[in-house]
Structure 1
Amino acid sequence: MNETYYLGTYWGARKELAGECAVRTGTLLSMLPTVDPSFARWFQQGKSRTDALRRSIEPNVQDLERLISRGKDRVIENLGFRFRGWNGVLDERDASSFDVTCGGRSVRVSNFWLFDLPIQGANAGRVLTGDVLASLMRVTATSWEPDWGVAMSHSHRDMVEPRRVPKSPYVGWVTYLARHRGTVPPLPSPVRVESVEDKGTLIVLTPERFTVSNPEHVALAERVRELLDRAGLLKPLQAQP
């Protein structure tokens, strides 16, 4: 069975209004078509696919602010806003979607932007590469300034979860660590390390698809995790101002 993959970025409690979340969302949506053509259009959830395809999400800040405001928790004020999108690809195995929570100020909820990525098909063939996932992580980190992020398979996540410290970063195929976490130490080949403006560091384990069925991939991820942990970069997520 094919492994399924996701890309998520995460940050602690950070007070942001719907308008501020809209600016960040609009910035990201505007950059996504440069990553891959399948990320050029997005739609709101609907009662059916036909209904959803009538409800496009445009990178217009005023429209986005209205959309995001509808996702505000009506009971607890500081839980922020939550909304979702889908890229309109009718073949579910080759489609992508996103889920975001922003503006949350409570330790009871994490702020995040999460992409569910295609599994199989033409889009998956392009997206599930080290270069494209690195580009997707770069534009997401630039837009949302998260504390950390990871692109990895669900199988790899489940494999490492039992020994992970709660709320600490995962180390996966592509990992992002904010600058405030510290300096990334030298890492073994073929790992690629890149700066993301002045915001953080991008770490790509392999250019080819990372799979848990490849013991060399799993061993490399564990070695990198050990080096990053030893350097103090994998501490649990902290609140942001």
Structure 2
Amino acid sequence: MKFGVVRFPGTCDEVDAYLAASRVGDAEILWHADADLKGVDAVIVPGGFSYGDHLRVGAVARFAPVMAEVETFAADGGLVLGICNGFQVLCEAGLLPGALLPNTSLKFTCRQVDLEVVNASTSWTNVTAVGDVLSIPAKHTTGRYYAPDATLDELEANGQVVLKYAPGHNFNGSVRDIAGVSNAAGNVVGLMPHPEHAVDPLTGSADGLKLFASAAAVPA
């Protein structure tokens, strides 16, 4: 399994994502201005502040040359993971439903959160089980997941709600405690917490490694 990690101007978590992916496969950095995915098997759009969050989070990055390739790659069944700002970019690009709005506190918050696995059959959760609790850090100002009720009902019916904040851990006000969603096919997943920061017990949790291991377990 070869992972490609996108680097935009303002991205700050691509190195950790690269190192996390390197624990379960090969990895390399993909430059935002290159319309080339270099033959990777999976793409990670990492966290940070792409293009300085100008206009709104993820709005400019969505038009980067590399994202046109990511959209085609995803449509062809390629594995794509959006983390934090990457989740925002994927929503802006229409690869995932919904939007990320400012936290109800209107403040940047960094804390460890517990996530409940709702769908363990996506390409990024297949080594977990429904009901598993993952301890993963979250850090953002604009992470409140939102979609209209009709869309939320459809997502839940289709199994596209992948992760939820455990009771008492939804600090940003996300509707229905949603922390991560997928596209209908399950090959594209986005979440606000940072699994790349939870891949070694020395950091307090290795639960985040399960997402990368899940992708690595998908047959080529």
**Larger RCO (CA within 8 A; separation ≥ 6):** 1
Do these two structures clear the TM 0.5 threshold for a shared fold by scoring above it?
A: no
Bigger fraction of residues in strand: 2
TM-score when scaled to structure 2? 0.29
- TM-score, structure 1 normalization: 0.27
